[in-house]
Amino acid sequence: MRHLMSPLDFSVEELEQLLDLASDIEANPQKYAHACAGKKLATLFYEPSTRTRLSHEAAMLNLGGSIMGFSSADSSSAAKGESVSDTIRTISCYADICAMRHPKEGAPMVACQHSSIPVINAGDGGHQHPTQTLTDLMTIRSLKGHLDNMTIGLCGDLKFGRTVHSLIHALVRYPGIRFILISPEELRLPGYIRHDVLDKNEVPYEEVVRLEDALPKLDLLYMTRVQKERFFNEDDYVRMKDFYILDAAKMKLAPEDMYVLHPLPRVNEISTEVDKDPRAAYFKQMQYGVYVRMALILTLLEIEV
C-alpha cells in the first residue's frame, strides 16, 4: 500500500506514468467512468478549501466512486479533541482511500502511519502540497511539452507557500531547470530549501525583489498569494499583501510564450484584466487538477483500466 506525502514519493519515471495516465483520462473520460465503482473516498479537511477538496471529490465521482468526509475541523470530532491517529483508524473502517488537509506540518504523515488505507496529503501547513504539484507538472507539460530546460519565476509568498516548496522539490530532478525567486525580504524562500534543495542539487537561481526585473527572462511565472492565515501579525500581512500585482502592463514585459500559473485562490495579486491574456493558464490548471487526481486515485488503489 502506498501513500502520497510528498512529490518525491514518486520517481521521475513514475511521475511520467502518472501524467501519461492523466492525459489519457483527459482524452478518454468515458473509459474511466466506472473504474472506481464501489470505492469510497474520504476527504478529511481540517482547514478550509475549495479547489483541493472539490477536485478530489470530483475526481472520485468522475471515476464512478462515492465520497464522504468533512470540510472543517469544527464539523469533525477533532472539535472534541480526537487525535489524527484515532480519526484515521476510524475512517479506515469506512473508506478505501482518503485525502487529508491539516494546518499542522506532518499531520498527514502521522495519519499514514496509523492508516490501513492510502492517504493523500492534500496540504499540511506551510510544508507540502503534493497534489497541487502534480497538477502544476501536468499543466507545464501540457502547455510547454516538456518539464526540463526552463527558467521559472516563483513570485510572492515563498516563505510560507507550500505549493512553491513542493514544486521546487519536484522540478529540481529535471535537467536545465533554473529559478528566479521573486519576493520581498520578509517572504524569501526558507534557507533550508535554498541550501538543502537548490544548492545541493546545483540548481541555478537568483533572488530579486522586483517582478519587472524577472519577467523578460521567464518561460513560466508561478504567482502566489500572500497567505493571511500564515501571519501572526495583522500589520505584517497588510504591509505585504499588495507587494506584487501582475497586470496587463507588466505582462507586456514578458515573452509571448511565457505562461502564468497560480494555485489559487487569488486575492488581488493577478489583476482580472490578465485573465483575457492567452498566456493566463491558471484556470486550465484547475481542470488539469481533476485529471491528475483521478490518475492518482487509480494509482494508489492499484486499479488498471
Q: Which residues are catalytic?
A: 51-52, 80, 101, 129
Q: Residue 19 corresponds to which cell in the numbers above? A: 501524467
Burial of 151 (0-12, 13-18, 19+ CB in 10 A): buried
CA distance 45 to 86: 15
Q: What's the first-to-final CA gap in the chain, in angstroms?
A: 19
Comparing CA positions, the residue from 150, 144, 84, 88 lying closest to residue 116 is 88
3-state secondary structure of 259: strand
Q: 18 Cβ partners below 8 Å, 6+ apart?
A: 10, 134, 292, 295, 296, 299
Does residue 189 contact residue 159 with C-beta atoms inside 8 Å? yes
In 140-235, DSSP assigns E strands to 150-155, 177-182, 205-208, 220-223
How many CB atoms neighbour CB 218 within 10 A? 24
Q: E strands within 114-258? A: 119-124, 150-155, 177-182, 205-208, 220-223
> Is residue 152 classed as helix, strand or coil in its secondary structure?
strand
C-alpha separations of 287 from 21, 112, 242 in Å? 15, 27, 27
- What residues contact residue 166 under an 8 Å CB cut-off, 6+ apart? 6, 7, 128, 129, 130, 132, 133
- DSSP-derived letter for residue 31 is G
